[in-house]
Structure 1
Amino acid sequence: MALGRNQTPSAQTQQGAYAVEFTLVFLIFFSLIYAIVSLGIFLTLRLSLQNAAEDGARAALRYQVTLTKREEEAERVARTQSAGWTPTQPVVVAKICQLEGSGCGQVCGPSWSQRCQVVVTVTTTGMRTVLPPLMNLALPDQVIGRASMLLDGRAL
């Protein structure tokens, strides 16, 4: 009995359909996994920089003879915490500034109008060398971690 034109096609005419379906599904899942891994690497590095900045800000809370020594200690701790795993040497800046006033370099003290805060910023570039090739377009090349803490005026 011969097959007519209106009847369902045989299994021989469907041989390549499974390969095409597998290819489409594989590309979708591979892209999803690739994006998750790339974002995971980026967020790990970003949170590590943030943690280094927070450790530096905490180090500035420890007693030092001068405010400059506190800034140096904060930079040293933040640099130590971020060294070794970033793609380039991170730039660490720690500043102690008054909350109210024209800026940094003023006298900090115990009164409310003389209160100061320490701001630690850790910046690294070259993130595109760490990330897998295709995700470089979606993620930034520079990552910044920043932390600030209010200094206790009684301990100054």
Structure 2
Amino acid sequence: MTGVHDRSAERGQAAIEFAIVFLLFFAMLWGILTFGFIFAAQNTLTLAAENGARAALRYQPATTTAGATAARISAATTMATQTVQWLQNFTPAYDPAAYLTATSAPCTYNANLICFHVQISYPYAQHPLIPPFPGFGLFAPTQLVGKATMQVDPGNLLPGG
């Protein structure tokens, strides 16, 4: 007989196909979410470093050059820490102060200028924002870093300088 088809041979085929397609789509969705959060965290770290460097440009009351430099570094640290607050709220084990450096030194291209360097990092391998999907850890960065540098004329550290 032609045209007669035994349906018992196809039992479960739709369920298997659905399972395979579901796993593929779920992996794609998980990848989009994971790398979206990584992208947002990286942008936040870069913004934090930039905001910290900008804060170092602002006048800070002081009577000595060393005091003004220290006050500007403190302002840079505070601003950078405030900018990454959502990361700390999202991952309570992350302490931004432990991964933040704000320093000043003569600029490499002109020793007459002071450069304020701000760097903040996030150990993504230790504190993933989304639990890792098997195999995605190979593509995720272990460390996210934001860096910024601003130059200041030493004559502008103190009022009337």
TM-score, structure 1 as length reference: 0.75
1:5-154 pair list within 5 angstroms: 10=5, 12=7, 13-64=9-60, 65=62, 66-83=68-85, 85-86=87-88, 87=91, 88-90=94-96, 91-100=99-108, 113-125=111-123, 126-128=126-128, 130-134=129-133, 135-154=136-155
Higher relative contact order (CA 8 A, sep 6+): 2
Cα contact 1:83–1:89 (8 A) shared by 2: no
The number of residue pairs the alignment matches comes to: 140
What secondary structure sits across from 2:141 in the alignment? coil
Deviations 1:59-103 (Å, cap 9, x if unpaired)?
Answer: 0000123212111111121122223533310122111122238xx
Unaligned runs of 5+ in 1: 102-111
Cα contact 1:127–1:140 (8 A) shared by 2: no
Identity of aligned residues (%): 29
Name whichever of 131-140 and 115-124 sits farther off: 131-140
Cα contact 1:127–1:141 (8 A) shared by 2: no
Relative to structure 1, the CA distance from residue 11 to residue 146 in structure 2 (aligned partners, 3 Å threshold; closer, same or farther) is farther
